[in-house]
Amino acid sequence: MSLVTINDLCFSFGGRELFRDLSMSIENDSRIGLVGVNGCGKTTLFNLIKGSMRPESGEILRAGSCEFAFLRQENELNQLQSLRDEVLASRPQMLALEHELMNLHKIMEKDSSDAILNRMNQVQHEFEAMGGFTFETEMKLVLTSLNFPEEEWDRSVSGFSGGEQSRIQLAKILLAPHSLLLLDEPTNHLDSFQIEFLKSYLLKNTTPYVIISHDRYFLDETVTNILDIRNKSIKRYRGNYSAYVMQSEENRRFEEKQWQEQQKYIEKEEEFIRRNLAGQKTKQAQGRRKILSRMDTLERPDTMDKFNLSIDSEYRTSKDIYRLRDVAIGFKDKVLASEINLYAGYRDRIAIIGPNGCGKSTLLRILLGEMQPLKGEIKTGSNFKIGFYGQMQEDLNNELTVMDTIWELVPGMAQGYVLTFLARFGFIGDDVKKLVGSLSGGEKARLKLAVLIHEKPNLLILDEPTNHLDVYMVDSLEAALSEYDGTLIFVSHDRYFIDKISTKKWVFTGNEIIETNDNLARIMNSLAKKAIDVPVQNKAVKLKSEKKKINPILLQNKMKEIELVGSVIADFISEKHSLELEFTKPEAYSNPENILRIKSRIKEIDDLLVMKNSEIANLEDEYLAMSIED
């Protein structure tokens, strides 16, 4: 059964045609990745599916019972609410039923009439159907796995950072009632452990979803189909992202061959027509011209997903780049890591890895000279020309156009040079006239890369460089960095990017930073094993005192225990509802022994529920404790 069917959809935005005769469907078991170059209309398609935008022509058919939960990249949180209330706001109907249940319990103390009992049963069944009895547990699992311990739930949303607010928004969307999940770049602002949790959470649930993501590992692990937006239309590929890459490349070679053969045929026919239109074979020439005019000419396969991002350095640095000896980093009231002894040399490619908040960006700021270490010594080499890429591109001038941003770097160069250079980053036509302040996150990221590459740095320091880039630009960036002849130090949570680019890794673990050449999978497994070896009681103490970071990889078995107890609780509640329903039947009161039996069983269930709720609370405490890295 299709949840959404799109037939012959056409849509333009800002005078630019995005879709022409686009058709697709989303089934009730879909696990889809949506890909395409930045600006091709991926987010617009989500808005059309949800109904936030209307097509110019064509139709979008939605199943009558389909509820959408749409994670946008823009912040849509109420800044005045607490974290707890903002997440609970995703379930307004459930909250209304819970409020009514509380009122009915109070009324029943004075009035236990059939009408009240019937309403109580109806509301309880509706509340249970919405997952009301297990929602608190589900909320705790999601929020703690996204690094929001329960003691932070009453903080105002406005008190959290931008990245934290993105995670709150993700939690709210995951916990909202839905029959179709639309996720636009869900892994932005997540660390590797949180990405692992999100992957497990999506695969555990049966709800269908469509994901826009630049994270190829995440797409490989979570989707079974890829929808590729290309040339204003869409094409479906079976399999994960890696399978799509192979299939699309084969298709492109085939389409390129067909286009070339048709071009040869057209050139041959046009040459015949030119030579014979006024000669003895005039009728043949006229006939061939008529055939050509009726021919459906093929468009050349789109190659805009290939970008030339070669990165050159103007001159080389010294052999030694950084040497850290007994360094401690952090702030006066909080040491993030200490006893740091690390070395970076010429042409090293170093990935800095660790959970959100561990100190990765702080370390980058110290290497850039924007902060001083709390103690220890940092020796730097010489002859540096540093190129820094931050997450927000704050140093771009919003008042300039895209073209003027580059032209300002080379005021003496011709306009043609600037336009040719920008075309390498996907800025063509009217794109170069856009104000920087009007650009999307992906466009700003590409422009910042253009500025960075034009400056020819010999030391690149990058903070989450793949965020906001589409998968094609990430591929091109990887290729450029692989050939880069300078030194690279970067923070990233993109597994493919880390393993392909880095020659070594600096890994935050506890309050240490270790150096390793292992791939990311081995590193995460090692951290998981190290966390398991620490006694649970010690971890619980650390949770209260230090609020350390969460490692969702360790939590799957504990989560299953919690779900099993939650299932038992749900069964008890269902049995209690059935027994209470017996009180609404007149014949029940003709048998006093049966009434006593029902009351006795209800009391027994209440006692069991108290015990099981205590058990699940203990399991949740263990869950929280086990989630702490040592």
What are the percentages of helix, strand and coil residues in the chain, rounded to 5?
50, 20, 30
Helix 556-582 to helix 592-626 angle (10° resolution) is: 160
How many Cβ atoms are within 10 Å of 410's Cβ, its own excluded? 12
Dihedral over Cα of 234, 239, 241, 247: its sign: negative
- The pLDDT of residue 106 is 83
Question: Cα angle at 518 between 512 and 524, to 5 degrees?
Answer: 65
Give the DSSP H or E segment for 16. Answer: strand 16-27
pLDDT per residue over 156-180, tens digit each? 999 998 889 999 999 999 999 999 9
> What letter does residue 455 receive in the DSSP assignment?
T
Per-residue pLDDT tens over the stretch 429-452: 888 999 988 887 778 888 998 898
What backbone torsions phi and psi does residue 509 show, to the nearest 5 degrees?
-140, 115
Q: CA torsion, points 605, 610, 615, 619, in degrees to nearest 10?
A: 120
For the chain of 630 residues, list the mean pLDDT of each consecutive stretch of 10: 91 88 93 90 94 93 90 90 93 89 83 82 85 85 91 93 91 93 93 89 91 93 93 92 89 87 90 82 86 85 67 88 94 90 94 89 93 94 90 82 92 89 86 87 86 91 88 87 92 90 91 88 71 40 40 60 74 71 61 74 77 71 57
Spell out the domains of the chain, with CATH numbers in brackets: 1-67+179-266 (3.40.50.300), 320-521 (3.40.50.300), 538-626 (no CATH)
Give the integer Cα–Cα distance in Å for 323 and 329: 14
pTM of the model: 0.75
Which pLDDT score, from 0 to 100, does residue 541 have?
32
Round to whole Å and give the CA distance between 527 and 563: 25
